[in-house]
């Protein structure tokens, strides 16, 4: 029987996704305003712990959004490459 090699317990790097910021036009009886719009959808969100009807917390800084499922505020980030589950979804404006 062939021995299987065990993978080393190495930290998992976060997945990176590229999402385009769209525009949304808001119209009322006095004005028309165009604002930035970000749409997130897909099974990958549920795989990360973001379920339909759950609440999220959005933390903001210039060029950075951190989205966390509520109830996971005690999540500990040990290093830039070691993130305990469920990982927040991070959108960064820096390029």
Backbone angles phi, psi at 37, to 5 degrees: -140, 130
Q: 23-50: string of b/e by CB count within 10 Å (b at 16+)?
A: eeeeeeeeeeeeeeeeeeeeeebeebbb
What pLDDT digit, counting tens, does each position of 54-68 carry?
999 999 999 999 999
What pLDDT digit, counting tens, does each position of 7-55 carry?
556 667 778 888 899 999 999 999 999 999 999 999 989 988 899 999 9
């Amino acid at each position: 029987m062939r021995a299987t090699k065990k993978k080393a317990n190495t930290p998992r790097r976060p997945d990176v996704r590229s999402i385009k910021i769209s525009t949304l036009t808001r119209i009322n009886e006095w004005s028309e305003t165009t604002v930035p719009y970000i749409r997130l959808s897909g099974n990958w969100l549920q795989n990360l712990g973001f379920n339909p009807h759950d609440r999220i917390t959005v933390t903001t800084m210039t060029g950075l959004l951190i989205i966390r499922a509520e109830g996971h505020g005690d999540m500990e980030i040990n290093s830039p490459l070691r993130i305990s589950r469920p990982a927040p979804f991070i959108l960064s404006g820096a390029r």
